[in-house]
Amino acid sequence: MIKHIQDTMTLSNGVNMPGLGLGVFKVEEGPTLVQAVKAAIAHGYRSMDTAAIYENERSVGQAIHEAMQENHLAREELFITSKVWNADLGYESTIAAYEASLERLGLDYLDLYLIHWPVKGKYNEAWRALETLYREGRVKAIGVSNFQVHHLEDLMSHAEITPMVNQVELHPRLTQKELLRFTKEHGIQLEAWSPLMQGELLSNDTLLEIAAQHGKSVAQIILRWDLQNGVITIPKSTKEHRIVENAALFDFELSQEEMERIDALNQNLRVGPDPDNFDF
């Protein structure tokens, strides 16, 4: 169990990925985003999750560079993730998309590059491109996002390298137990997006009760539940006090009974698109 904001989970290839990162979905380029990323790094976050489709890699990159200088950090101390968008899935086009993301971020490598969505008939070819980037040492780890068990099985039957990470929607209303079991069995690290269900879970009675018992917020209870489940989590906030709050997860522990009460909130309910039925 990780005990500190900078503690990591070890991926199947030995790369260490922080258990906690900052998400930046739906945050536009500009000063708010730059300040959020810089605040996160100043408060000890080391992992940032962006994507080409968020159209904010330039601001994330600017913030990373400023924060490295101000906090005397080397590039290797940070863990930067981006994702190839659906329109770019293909061998050459995925490699070009990776290079374009690097250029926008102002970086010469990423720590993790993901296939954003399992577009039918396209992801296996894109995976070959990620394998090439990985073999050539241009990216530290490669993975997928929004892959269900059957997508993973299909990809792994064609792939030479098993994905190191699968980033999926995961929160107490969508506990993803089957996927968690499958990924653990195959050495794939599961990572939770929309861990706070985009804010929808913050007034849930069960979570409020557990939070009151620990003198913590509901957000902290959910994020701690992720970590105790061995799931990497990337809550998004642009507010400094919440960025701090979402990282104060290491001075309490959920009991087995509390973990089970949270698991029991599952309704297989999504806030985002269904990976088996999306049209983009």
- 91 tagged catalytic: no
Q: Does 35 interact with ligand NAP (rule: CB under 6 A)?
A: no
Q: Which is nearer to ligand NAP, 133 or 165 (CB)?
A: 165
**Cβ within 8 Å of residue 165, ≥6 positions away:** 11, 17, 112, 114, 141, 143, 144, 188, 189, 190, 191, 232
Residue among 18, 23, 118, 172 that touches ligand NAP (CB under 6 A): 23
- Closest to 161 in 3D by CA, of 139, 138, 132: 132
Residue 272: CB minimum distance to ligand NAP, A: 5
Q: Does 64 interact with ligand NAP (rule: CB under 6 A)?
A: no
| CA dist., res. 122 & res. 89, Å (int) | 6
Q: Does 236 interact with ligand NAP (rule: CB under 6 A)?
A: yes
Residue 256: CB minimum distance to ligand NAP, A: 25
Identify any residues that bridge with 10 across adjacent strands, giving them in sequence order: 16
Q: Which is nearer to ligand NAP, 124 or 198 (CB)?
A: 198
Q: Which is nearer to ligand NAP, 25 or 91 (CB)?
A: 25
| CA dist., res. 243 & res. 235, Å (int) | 8
Binding characters for ligand NAP, 203-222, by CB under 6 A (x = yes): --------------x-x---
Alpha-helix runs per DSSP H in the chain? 31-42, 57-70, 91-105, 123-135, 149-158, 177-185, 205-214, 218-228, 240-245, 256-263
Q: Does 239 interact with ligand NAP (rule: CB under 6 A)?
A: yes
> How far is C-alpha 223 from the chain's CA centre?
12
Residue among 6, 132, 198, 206 that touches ligand NAP (CB under 6 A): 198
Residue 72: CB minimum distance to ligand NAP, A: 26
**226 in Cβ contact with 23 (< 8 Å):** no
Residue 170: CB minimum distance to ligand NAP, A: 10
| CA dist., res. 72 & res. 59, Å (int) | 19
- What's at 94, amino acid-wise? T
| CA dist., res. 223 & res. 231, Å (int) | 9
Residue among 167, 176, 204, 229 that touches ligand NAP (CB under 6 A): 167
Q: Does 101 interact with ligand NAP (rule: CB under 6 A)?
A: no
Residue 197: CB minimum distance to ligand NAP, A: 6
Q: Can you tell me which residue has the tokens 């059957």?
A: 150
Q: Does 226 interact with ligand NAP (rule: CB under 6 A)?
A: no
Query: Would you state the torsion angle of the CA atoms of residues 255, 257, 259, 262, taken in this order, to the nearest 10 degrees?
Result: -140
Q: Does 235 interact with ligand NAP (rule: CB under 6 A)?
A: yes
Q: Which is nearer to ligand NAP, 163 or 235 (CB)?
A: 235
Residue among 9, 33, 80, 196 that touches ligand NAP (CB under 6 A): 196
Of the candidates 45, 54, 98, 123, the residue annotated as catalytic is 54
| CA dist., res. 211 & res. 205, Å (int) | 10
Enzyme catalytic residues: 54
Q: What does the binding site for ligand NAP look like in residue numbers (CB under 6 A)?
A: 23-25, 49, 116, 145-146, 167, 193-199, 202, 217, 219, 234-239, 242, 245-246, 272
